[in-house]
Structure 1
Amino acid sequence: MKYLIAGLGNIGPEYAFTRHNIGFMVLDRLAAQNDFKFSFEKLAFVAEWKYKGRQIYFIKPTTYMNLSGKAIRYYMDQFKIPKENLLVVVDELQLPYGTVRIKPKGSHGGHNGLKNIEELLASSEYPRLRFGIGNNFPRGRQVDYVLKPFSGEEMAELPIFLDQAVDMVVSFCTLGIQMTMNNYNQ
């Protein structure tokens, strides 16, 4: 069983702790907890983890958010990963901060990273883990909001939510999407 987990974000220190980089943060947390490292490869930082008989590949695309699909398509082909074994970890404006949900498919909902993935996979039928970042911003200021760092209060709570997201990624790879939805989506 092979899986590809793609955490979405933007490369560069100026984006490190921004809301849009939550996909990178989840994968970094999982790597730190399980002692594996990312290396710079074509189109992405890539890591590999063998766990409970599964071969799990992780990517953090270096293509910037809006072209994430290019790296995902490349590594799906490279590692021969079927769409149902792809999990995209992404920030979600429509969920309150800290709410984490997994679903088997869905629309891009205006998210440019998901829009690009949908284009390059010619489908919206791929699993995604949506990490709520809230939507507390004035009209027309969405870009500023998602590229802004978390507040001090949010940063204090972030480890709890990151750990939940990590557990959900591991559950997706070991128990499957349906059991993970049943166990974690409240």
Structure 2
Amino acid sequence: MFERLKKWLGFGITTEQNEEDLMKKFLIVGLGNIGEKYHNTRHNIGFKILDHLASEAEVSFETVKLGDRSTLKVKGRTLVLIKPSTYMNLSGKAVKYWLDKEKIPLENLLVITDDLNLPFGTLRLKTKGSDGGHNGLKDIQDKLQTTKYNRFRFGISDAFSKGKQVDYVLSEWNEEETSQLDERLKTAAEVIKSFALAGVNNTMNQFNGK
């Protein structure tokens, strides 16, 4: 009984044990804009993927500081899911806050975002890179002071007329895209779980381009 109490209070737990526990914790941030009018838009694919993952695991989101939060366990790994409430252009504030609060190492961060430069539904994981003109990634880079963080890009294609980019990303999926979205969301959920279980390099090898 006394030994259990000591463990609960944190006595007898080594620094190595604490570090090992932290390495099993991951921050998964899906980018999007809050509000019903943005719910089913291309720009909100980050929110949509996390909603799908949470639904699969039968966990729900609660409103917390700077976003909605959920937690799920995958084979000994803890995934903290965050949908920032800061709007896309200020996403970095929420990412930095939850990284610090949860004491999650930067290499265990995964940011999910839409990508105009990839065909619809194409999945691509990267460990670093530029913001590519994406305002959410631009703010994350600014707040973290680095371009070396994992990002998971979901292709939304560039099927828009000149000068119509904003209208396009803030518009809803067309009928053809909608018919394929469920399968793509299931695969995206597998990417996230693989990131936590198998690591970023193995996940890139298995899923990139699929």
Q: Among 26, 50, 53, which residue is 1:3 paired with?
A: 26
Q: Tell me, yes or no, if structure 1 residue 80 matches structure 2 residue 103.
A: yes
* Larger of the two Rg values belongs to structure: 2
Q: Give, in angstroms, the shift of residue 53 of structure 1.
A: 1.1
Runs of 4+ in structure 1 off by over 4 angstroms are none
3-state SS of paired residue (2:97) = helix
Over the matched positions of the two proteins, sequence identity in percent amounts to: 52
TM-superposed deviation, 1:129:
0.5
The equivalent of 2:92 in structure 1 is 69
Counterpart in 2 of 1:43? Answer: 66
Structure 2 letter corresponding to 1:135:
D
Distance 2:121 2:208 in 1: 13
When the two structures are superposed, what TM-score results if normalisation uses the length of structure 1?
0.98
Q: Which amino acid aligns with 2:123?
A: V
Tell me the alpha carbon deviations over residues 101-129 of structure 1, each in whole angstroms, 9 at most, x when there is no partner.
Answer: 11111110000000000000000100011
Show the counterpart of 2:80. 57
Alignment of 1:9-48 (within 5 A): 9-48=32-71
Instruction: Name the amino acid aligned to 1:57.
Output: V
Structure 1 position 95 matched with structure 2 position 115:
no
Aligned residues: 186
* In structure 1, distance between residues paired with 2:198 and 2:44: 26
Work out whether 1:151 is the aligned partner of 2:174: yes
SS in 2 for 1:67: helix
TM-score by length of 2: 0.87
Identify unmatched segments of 5+ residues in structure 2.
Answer: 1-23
Which stretches in structure 1 are left out of the alignment for 5+ residues? none
1:136 counterpart SS class: coil
